[in-house]
Structures are given as structure tokens and as C-alpha cells.
Amino acid sequence: MRRLVSSESFTDGHPDKVADQISDSVLDTVLDRCPDAVATCETLVTTQLVLVGGEVRGFGEGNPGLDIADVVRRTLRRIGCNDDRYGIDADSCSVLVAMGRPLGALDDGAAGGREDPIGRVGGAVWDPDGQAGVYGYATDEHPTFLPQPVAHAHALSRQLAAVRRVGGSVFGPRGSAMVTVEYEDQVATRVVSVAVSTQHDEDATTDEVESAVAEQVLGPVLDGAPGLDGCSLVVNPLRQVVPGGPHVSWGLTGRTIIADTYGGVARHGGAGLSGKDPSRFDRAGAYASRWVAKNLVASGVAARCEVHLSSPDGRVAPATVAIDTFGTEQVDPTSIAAVVREVFDLRPSSIVRDLDLRRPIYSDASVFGHFGRVEAWCTWERLDRVPALTSAFGLG
């Protein structure tokens, strides 16, 4: 059966990604000072205005107050939003902050009189509404263990942003890439099309922008990639893109959840990732399910794997550990979930401990996808459970 799959990725200057990076920069600032704190942060970005709202608890005595406006401005400068042409200027925009303390949050000893089943780490405060169903996915069709469309799209948007940062290019902060891949019987066969949209200098002609994308972005990323014969390239389908950022559209935290994960190939629990500390199972569990899926594929259990975890209140071990290998498994499929429960400790607090999630790492994760990363801080991409899985299944 033939089908086409398209996935999109966004540069760090896209308004929604600006909002994600601000939210996660606030979270990083909190965790850097007090790793056991709980924080949620939502950001709205519009023309010359940033609105930050959320909650912080357990920040700890002796910590100076959070200067969230300073965090916002430093994040905007790092991205390159420092000119009114881009819709927002880090030095002159208005920043409104509405951060409070969550009502009814569980703290130590507030487990309703029952024994804490998770062995909490570091006295962390846990979200009472942390129940969630999450999905993780991995496939052997690309070295990142991501589906080809989203892996290529992330590489293109990352390159687009990198070229802009070097300087001397015609590109502005806002950009995106969409890649369409053809599949035959679930096997990726060729890249059908690539569409790149990028903000650019006012005096750059359409031909100059198209040439720059082809030579500086598409070539370095996709040269030598299989299945490129006949691939079409479309640059700025709406022609000139001089205005950018909030001049064009508002940015909101958590609005790019499909690009953040698996590009629409796998299912999604529906919750955004950015702006949430790891006591939220919809974030920690999403990372853990990817960790499980990637290790299963890397160990040879299956060529494709989707892992579904659900936690009834965000504190206890998952009630559901469901594994779908889409008929690609090399072992008895009925045994996979049981082995996963033995090899991985999927209690929420254990996930936080084993993946070392109470660190200020999240602003880096909030752009170019949370998965398929190679950076050392991205612990959910480690293949540290492959030996145990191959041994348990008698593989290798």
C-alpha cells in the first residue's frame, strides 16, 4: 500500500516556539535554583508584548524572587528577537507576569493518609491533577529512530536557524520546513517534496531566497539522503515573507505538539510538553515512553514500536503499559509489556530519578523536537537498557 506522510518543524524564531522557549526558560531558572520545586508556565507572545502566567511552589526559602521579565528578555535576545521588524524587540517590548502558587497541590505528607507508593525523590511536590496517558514511538527507518518526515524536517529547520545565526544570510528568525515522504507497505521509499518558509530581508528577491535555501539549507542537510530523485522544492509558497513573528501571528505555549513529538506518525496523548516540570506525568511520561520505545527498537525486538503509558494520578506506577509493534516484532508480542515492566521502573518518581529530569535542560529541548536528539543532556534518548532487553528476549 502506498501512502504519503508529511511532517513539519519550526525554527526557534517561530512565534509558537518563542513561547515554548520562554516557558521552558522560566522552568529552567526555577529548577536551577531549586530542583525540587514545581512550576508550570504558559506564555503568549504578540506584537511587542509577552504575557507569562503560571504557578510555582516549593521554591524554597532563601531564594531571591524570580525576575521573570529578565528571563523573558534574555530568551528573546538569545533567539534573535531584537528588532521591531521581527514583531518583538527584547529590549523594548512589554512583559506582563501573572505567576502564583497552585491551590491544593500535594506536598510531602499530603498523600491522603496512605503510604506513598513511589518513593519520592528529594521531597518533590507533586501535581494533584497529573493523570495522563502518553505515547512514545521509535522506528528503525532513520538513525534518530524517528520517522523520516519529521527527522528531515527538524534537520532542515535547525539548519535554517543555524545559517541565520552565523550572519550574512537573508533569513529572518521565523521559519519552518515541511517534508513529505512516500511509504510503500510501511517502508519509507523516497522524499516526495520539501517546502521551506522563511522570513527574509526586505531587499532580497524571490530568486535570491530560493537559491539561499537550496544551497545553504537543503543541500547540506539532504545531499546524499536516499530517495531524493525527483524531489520537489517549494520556497515561501506565499512568495515574499518580509514581516515575521507576532506581526503575522500570535505565539502560544504548547501549540506545536505534533512537531514536538513524532510528526503525526504516532499517536499523541494530547498534552503539550513545554512549561511543565517533571512532576507532571504528561511530560516525564512522554520522555519515558520514548525511552522505552527506542530501546526496544534498538535491541531488535521490533522495527517499529509505540508505547502507551497511563498514570491515574501522576504518582503511582502506570496502570497501562501497552506495546504495539505493528507486526514487525521478532519476539512473542504478548511477552513484551511484561519484560518492559521488569527492565524499566516506570513509577513517576523513578522516571525522574533514572532520567535525571530535575535539571535546567528544558529550554534546549523546546525547539527542533524533543526526540531524536544527540545531546548528552537528552537522557531519554539513551540506549542504556538494550543489553537487559536483548538478554531478556534472547536476542543478539
What distance lies between CA 354 and its chain's CA centroid? 19
Please answer whether residues 94 and 48 qualify as being in contact, where contact means their C-beta atoms are separated by less than 8 angstroms: yes
pLDDT the model gives residue 81: 87
Task: Assess contact for 197 and 236: CB atoms under 8 A.
Answer: yes
3-state SS class at 124: coil
Task: List the one residue out of 51, 32, 54 whose CA is nearest residue 102.
Answer: 54
Residue 238 C-alpha cell reads as 506565499
Nearest to 152, CA basis, from 80, 231, 215? 231
In what order do the strands lie in the sheet containing 132-139?
132-139, 304-311, 320-324
Q: Are 308 and 286 in contact (CB under 8 A)?
A: no
Q: From first to last of the 396 residues of the chain, give the pLDDT tens digit.
A: 899 999 999 999 999 999 999 999 999 999 998 998 889 999 999 999 999 999 988 765 555 678 999 999 999 999 988 877 777 899 999 999 998 765 444 444 333 333 333 334 334 444 555 557 899 999 999 999 999 999 999 999 999 999 988 877 888 888 999 999 999 988 899 999 999 998 888 788 888 888 899 899 988 888 767 667 778 888 887 665 655 666 667 899 999 999 999 999 999 988 999 999 998 999 999 999 999 999 999 999 999 999 999 987 656 778 889 999 999 999 999 999 999 999 999 998 999 999 999 999 999 999 999 999 999 999 999 999 999 999 999 997
CA 260 to chain centre: 4
Q: What is the pLDDT of residues 253-264, one digit of tens each?
A: 999 999 999 999
Tell the burial category of 227 from Cβ atoms under 10 Å away from its Cβ (0-12, 13-18, 19+).
middle
Question: Residue 90, CB half-sphere, CA atoms under 13 Å: how many?
Answer: 16
Tally Cβ neighbours within 10 Å of residue 230.
Answer: 9
Is residue 35 within a helix (H) or strand (E), and if so which, with residue range?
Answer: none
Residue 15 phi, psi (nearest 5): -55, -40
Specify the 3-state DSSP secondary structure of 287: helix
Q: Which domains does the chain have, with CATH numbers?
A: 2-10+147-244 (3.30.300.10), 132-141+278-393 (3.30.300.10)
What is the tens place of the pLDDT at every residue in 371-383?
999 999 999 999 9
Cell of 327: 507486526
